[in-house]
């Protein structure tokens, strides 16, 4: 993550770059310099996950209640000293970073294999040196922070860019993370999460100015240095020979420094002594061996330029334009230096300098000069002043507008009339600019939500240069629905919905799964039929025929998948009375009968419409859990009665446990099958988040947050007892008041499974592979290689194409259809 070798270099070669600071003192200084402005820290949440996860146990599926308590302590510690936290999460993987994403996932696969080998050999959890974060940690951290009242944002591009932009544009106290890219961006101060002592609020500040001083470079040189060393865009090997050439001619190599440290010093020396001589006279490709990698290199350097920033390293004609994924980098002339410089302009941002101009109001936010950095920054407006009001007044129409209210978090979002759409669209209020924008529109990054071909939307370049922007095409053409989806995505209220609708491409990272276990399937295949029905709902425009829906690209990690290409997955039609509802009906309609339609649609995604009445009778928070268990036991024929007992018993016992009781819980040993079952259930909970989001939130999200229904160690304990044949009373810790509940929940699951010809039997009695389990009577059943399938369900996991079990490469097929996998 970040710039190759820079972290080690800073720690060993240039330790003076790191300064111990105290957040409480920094906040007090900030308040004195900026009266009325709340000190704000932007948190790169993805960098912080492994530091936040402090529970000792991580192997069993996650200690979620302990983790929630740790997050609460983290938040409380900062808010107590008057510091506001803004949390950013990765919302998508950008295409130019896909190779790096794949590389890390394949590395994680090897680590997971070692973890399971250790468990089988020692029957215990490995040490922290083999720590692997529990599945779903990033997703559920978002919802945990929202529950704690924190502002969480999900990025529309790589999160580090949005973090750096937010910090710069909002005059934030700093950025908290663990990514050397923050040393390269010219933004707010960068603080290390790994060095943070929560009790004292001391940490390390890594100073980019001191880094430049040590390397004899300027701030504008750092993006060039980062790309020559290698980062997430530029592969490390691309300039390896160039780096060694620099090293061979470097006369100041330090014997006491390691080789990597000397390479960084040598490359920096080449930039300062050689490249600076010709800066502004020669193009980079004339000074560096870029070869066929010229475009990628330019892209890598430009990726560090925040809105309004310039780079002096690009010497091209004024009309030249470099196009990045979602921003335009255009050439202009710096009036001071009379030199052509690179200007980074978001195509929707419509500004060149650090005046924070709203693209529609054309109004600028006043600027002030920071006495320390001596650079202009926007006058800070307290982010806490953000007002959510039920009505807003359109300055042109002078009339009130209705609101869109999120059913879970009660966010009331004003609606306004879109002059192009001739209809009302949701609006949001930006805390700094304090004016209404169409929902899903970020005034700082304002990435276009609709990538569909829309002749009414024109991209404008601030330099009056015709930009080379290729109009992107979305999977969904309705701009109103896309704006709602984008707003929920940005606010961290949904999961994968906007990714599916905008790009038709999603990913899921590694899960603790045993590649050598032939009996349990990968979660990627178990929940694929659910995702396929969600695709039909999101992309089908209310049509029952899913054959016309586009395929979705899935980058899901599972055993045997080399991740060279995404799996192309076709939507699957839902078996729903009255047909598939439109998203406008599910998301925007407030008629009294709509909640029932939302629930019907959710159950249809799991193909469990026949169990509606039984599930409705179940109390919260067990309703969603029962839905998930029914689906799991119908899908996976190797699950047995003992597994069901363990799942239900842990959910019931969890309700009466304190966090400390869960911390003190000790296991006799660790079972590899139970490890995989714990992860399988948690991935099911993330699937519930996806389905609930897509269907308009028929259920409360809190009902399937893991800290309310699942605890890894507790499940493991119940699993071990159940496997040994202990009675239900023992599993329930002799709590007779829970016995009736247990049997009621078990009855709901077993009866629902029987409707699908799935009889759950004890492991001791063996498992019957009833020939009719995967089929229903009727002409609609899809045949699979095993000869059996549930109607409309799609394929059983054993027959689902590449990687459910290791196969020969020539047998792999990468496209699923409603009638099975095909080439």
Residues 61, 712 contacting (CB under 8 angstroms) = yes
pLDDT-derived band at 253 (thresholds 50, 70, 90) equals low
Closest CA to 567 of 812, 247, 240: 812
pLDDT value for 764: 75
Predicted confidence band at 13 (pLDDT cuts at 50, 70, 90)? Answer: confident
The structure tokens listed for 589 are: 């309609």
Q: pLDDT value at position 365?
A: 37
Greater confidence, 820 or 516?
Answer: 516
3-state SS class at 812: coil
**Residue 436's pLDDT band (boundaries 50, 70, 90)?**
very low
Query: Bridge-partner residues for 323, per DSSP?
Result: 328
For residue 804, what pLDDT band results from cuts at 50, 70 and 90? very low
pLDDT of residue 809: 32
pLDDT given at position 1: 65
What is the structure's pLDDT at 755? 92
- CB within 8 Å of 555: residues ≥ 6 apart: 93, 98, 101, 102, 505, 506, 507, 508, 563, 566, 567
SS3 (DSSP) at 786:
coil
Tell me what the mean pLDDT of segment 52-56 comes to. Answer: 96
Mean pLDDT of 111-118: 97
| Residue that wins the pLDDT comparison between 260 and 565 | 565
359 close to 461: Cβ distance less than 8 angstroms: no
Choose the most confident range, by mean pLDDT, from 258-262, 328-332, 583-587: 583-587
> Sorting pLDDT into bands at 50, 70 and 90, what band is 344?
low
Q: Which long-range contacts (CB under 8 A, 24 or more apart) does 295-300 make?
A: 296/96, 296/233, 296/234, 297/227, 297/234, 298/322, 299/96, 299/233, 299/324, 300/223, 300/226, 300/227, 300/231, 300/233, 300/234
Please give the pLDDT value at position 799.
Answer: 52
The pLDDT of residue 792 is above 50? no
Q: What is the mean pLDDT of residues 56-77?
A: 97
What gap in Å lies between CA 108 and CA 98, rounded to an integer? 15
pLDDT score, position 768:
41
Q: Does residue 778 carry a pLDDT above 50?
A: no
pLDDT of residue 328: 45
**Is residue 630 pLDDT above 50, yes or no?**
yes
C-alpha to C-alpha distance for 154 and 494, rounded to whole angstroms: 10
Cβ(302)–Cβ(342) below 8 Å: yes
What pLDDT is attached to residue 170? 94
pLDDT recorded at residue 11? 82
> Which range among 142-156, 240-254, 443-457 has the greatest average pLDDT?
142-156
- Whether residue 661 is predicted with pLDDT greater than 90 in this model: the reply is yes
Q: What is the pLDDT of residue 285?
A: 84
Q: Mean pLDDT across the chain, nearest whole number?
A: 78
What are the CA-CA distances from residue 200 to residues 25, 31, 48, 70 (Å)? 11, 20, 18, 16
For the ranges 339-353, 632-646, 688-702, 707-721, which has the lowest average pLDDT? 339-353
pLDDT of 211 above 90: yes
Q: What percent of the chain has pLDDT over 90?
A: 58
Lowest mean pLDDT among 40-54, 147-161, 666-680, 790-804: 790-804
Cβ density class 670-691: b for 16+ within 10 Å, e for less: bbbebbbbbbbbbbbbbbbbbb
Res 578: pLDDT: 84
Rg (CA), the chain: 28
| pLDDT tens for each residue of 292-325 | 988 899 999 999 999 999 888 875 443 344 444 4
389, pLDDT greater than 90: no
Q: What is the per-residue pLDDT for 473?
A: 59
Quote the longest CA-to-CA distance of the chain. Answer: 84
Strands 392-393 and 321-323 turn out to be unpaired
Specify the pLDDT at position 546: 66
Please tell me the pTM assigned to this model.
Answer: 0.77
Report d(CA 87, CA 183) in Å as an integer: 19
Q: Which residue has the higher pLDDT, 164 or 461?
A: 164
Average pLDDT over residues 133-156: 96
Question: Residues with Cβ < 8 Å from 112, sequence gap 6 or more?
Answer: 132, 510, 512, 513, 515
Q: Which residue has the higher pLDDT, 160 or 405?
A: 160
**Strand, helix or coil at 310?**
strand
pLDDT of residue 137: 97
Residue 567: name the closest of 525, 522, 538, 521 by CA: 525
218 Cβ neighbours under 8 A, 6+ residues apart: 212
The tens digit of pLDDT for each residue in 534-557 reads 999 999 876 767 677 899 999 999
d(Cα 132, Cα 123) in Å, to the nearest integer? 17
pLDDT at 398: 37
Structure tokens at 500: 């599916």
In the predicted model, is pLDDT for residue 444 greater than 90?
Answer: no
Q: What is the pLDDT at residue 89? A: 97
CA distances from 265 to 124, 227, 243, 269 (A): 45, 14, 10, 6
**The most confident of 91-105, 223-237, 689-703, by mean pLDDT:** 689-703
Q: What is the pLDDT of residues 611-626, one digit of tens each?
A: 999 998 999 899 999 9
Q: What is the mean pLDDT of residues 770-779?
A: 30
Phi, psi of 367 (to 5 degrees): -110, 155
| pLDDT on residue 399 | 39
Reported as a single tens digit per residue, the pLDDT across 270-289 is 999 888 888 877 888 888 88
Average pLDDT, integer, range 510-527: 94
Asked if residue 151 has a cis previous peptide bond (ω within 30° of 0), the answer is no
- pLDDT at 59 exceeding the cut of 60: yes
pLDDT of residue 18: 94
Q: With both helix axes pointing from N to C terminus, report the angle between 294-302 and 222-229 in degrees, rounded to the nearest 10.
A: 130
**What local confidence, expressed as pLDDT, does residue 312 receive?**
87
């Amino acid at each position: 993550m970040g710039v190759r070798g820079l972290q080690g270099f800073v720690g060993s070669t240039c330790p003076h770059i790191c300064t111990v600071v105290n957040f409480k003192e920094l906040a007090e200084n900030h308040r004195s310099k900026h009266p009325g402005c709340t000190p704000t820290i932007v948190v790169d949440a993805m960098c912080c996950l492994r530091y936040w996860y402090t529970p000792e146990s991580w192997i069993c599926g996650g200690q979620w209640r302990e983790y929630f308590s740790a997050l609460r302590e983290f938040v409380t510690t900062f808010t107590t000293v008057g510091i506001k936290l803004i949390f950013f999460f990765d919302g998508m993987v950008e295409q130019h970073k896909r190779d790096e994403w794949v590389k890390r996932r394949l590395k994680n696969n090897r680590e997971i294999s070692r973890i399971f080998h250790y468990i089988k050999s020692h029957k215990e959890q490995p040490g922290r040196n083999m720590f692997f974060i529990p599945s779903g940690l990033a997703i559920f951290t978002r919802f945990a922070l929202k529950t704690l009242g924190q502002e969480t944002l999900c990025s529309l591009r790589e999160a580090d860019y949005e973090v750096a932009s937010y910090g710069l544009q909002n005059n934030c106290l700093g950025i908290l993370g663990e990514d050397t890219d923050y040393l390269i961006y010219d933004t707010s101060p960068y603080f290390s999460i790994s060095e943070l002592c929560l009790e004292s609020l001391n940490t390390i500040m890594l100073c980019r100015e001191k880094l430049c001083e040590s390397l004899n470079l300027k701030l504008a040189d750092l993006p060039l240095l980062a790309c020559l060393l290698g980062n997430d865009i530029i592969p490390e090997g691309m300039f390896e020979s160039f780096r060694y050439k620099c090293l061979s001619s470097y006369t100041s190599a330090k014997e006491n420094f390691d080789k990597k440290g000397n390479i960084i010093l040598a490359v920096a020396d080449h930039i300062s002594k050689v490249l600076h001589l010709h800066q502004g006279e020669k193009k980079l490709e004339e000074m560096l061996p870029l070869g066929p990698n010229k475009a990628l290199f330019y892209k890598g350097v430009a990726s560090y330029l925040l809105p309004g920033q310039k780079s002096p390293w690009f010497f091209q004609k004024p009309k030249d334009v470099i196009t990045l994924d979602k921003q335009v980098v255009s050439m202009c002339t710096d009036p001071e230096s009379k030199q052509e410089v690179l200007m980074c302009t978001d195509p929707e941002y419509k500004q060149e300098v650090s005046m924070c101009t709203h693209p529609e109001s054309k109004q600028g936010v006043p600027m002030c000069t920071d006495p320390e950095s001596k650079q202009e920054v926007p006058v800070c407006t307290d982010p806490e002043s953000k007002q959510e009001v039920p009505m807003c007044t359109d300055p042109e129409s002078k009339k009130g507008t209705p609101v869109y209210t999120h059913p879970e978090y009660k966010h009331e979002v004003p609606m306004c009339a879109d002059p192009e759409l001739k209809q009302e669209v949701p609006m949001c209020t930006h805390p700094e600019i304090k004016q209404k924008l169409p929902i899903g529109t970020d005034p700082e990054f304002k990435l276009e939500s609709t990538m569909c071909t829309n002749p009414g939307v024109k991209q404008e370049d601030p330099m009056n240069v015709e930009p080379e922007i290729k109009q992107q095409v979305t999977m969904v053409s309705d701009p109103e629905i896309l704006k709602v989806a984008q707003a929920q995505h940005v606010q961290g209220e949904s999961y994968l919905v906007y990714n599916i609708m905008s790009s038709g491409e999603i990913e899921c990272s590694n899960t603790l799964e045993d590649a050598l276990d032939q009996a349990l399937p990968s979660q990627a295949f178990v929940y694929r039929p659910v995702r396929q029905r969600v695709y039909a709902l999101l992309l089908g425009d209310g049509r029952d025929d899913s054959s016309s829906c586009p395929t979705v690209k899935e980058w899901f990690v599972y055993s045997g998948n080399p991740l060279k290409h995404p799996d192309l997955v076709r939507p699957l039609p839902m078996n729903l009375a009255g047909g598939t509802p439109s998203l406008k009906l599910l998301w925007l309609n407030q008629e009294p009968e709509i909640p029932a339609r939302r629930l019907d649609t959710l159950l249809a995604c799991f193909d469990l419409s026949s169990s509606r009445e039984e599930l409705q009778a179940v109390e919260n928070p067990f309703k969603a859990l029962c839905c998930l268990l029914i689906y799991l036991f119908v899908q996976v024929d190797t699950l047995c009665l003992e597994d069901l007992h363990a799942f239900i018993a842990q959910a019931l016992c969890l309700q009466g446990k304190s966090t400390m009781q869960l911390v003190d819980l000790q296991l006799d040993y660790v079972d590899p099958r139970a490890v995989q079952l714990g992860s399988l259930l948690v991935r099911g909970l993330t699937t519930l988040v996806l389905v609930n989001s897509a269907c308009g939130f028929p259920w409360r999200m809190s009902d399937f947050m893991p800290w309310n229904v699942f605890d890894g160690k507790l499940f493991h304990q119940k699993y071990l007892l159940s496997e040994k044949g202990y009675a239900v009373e023992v599993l329930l810790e002799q709590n007779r008041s829970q016995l009736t509940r247990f049997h009621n929940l078990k009855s709901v699951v077993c009866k629902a499974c029987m409707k699908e010809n799935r009889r759950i039997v004890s492991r001791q009695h063996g498992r019957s592979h009833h020939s009719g389990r995967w089929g229903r009577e009727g002409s609609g059943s899809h045949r699979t290689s095993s000869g059996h399938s549930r109607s409309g369900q799609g394929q059983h996991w054993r027959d689902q194409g590449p990687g459910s079990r290791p196969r020969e490469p020539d047998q792999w097929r990468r496209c699923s259809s409603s009638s099975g996998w095909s080439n």
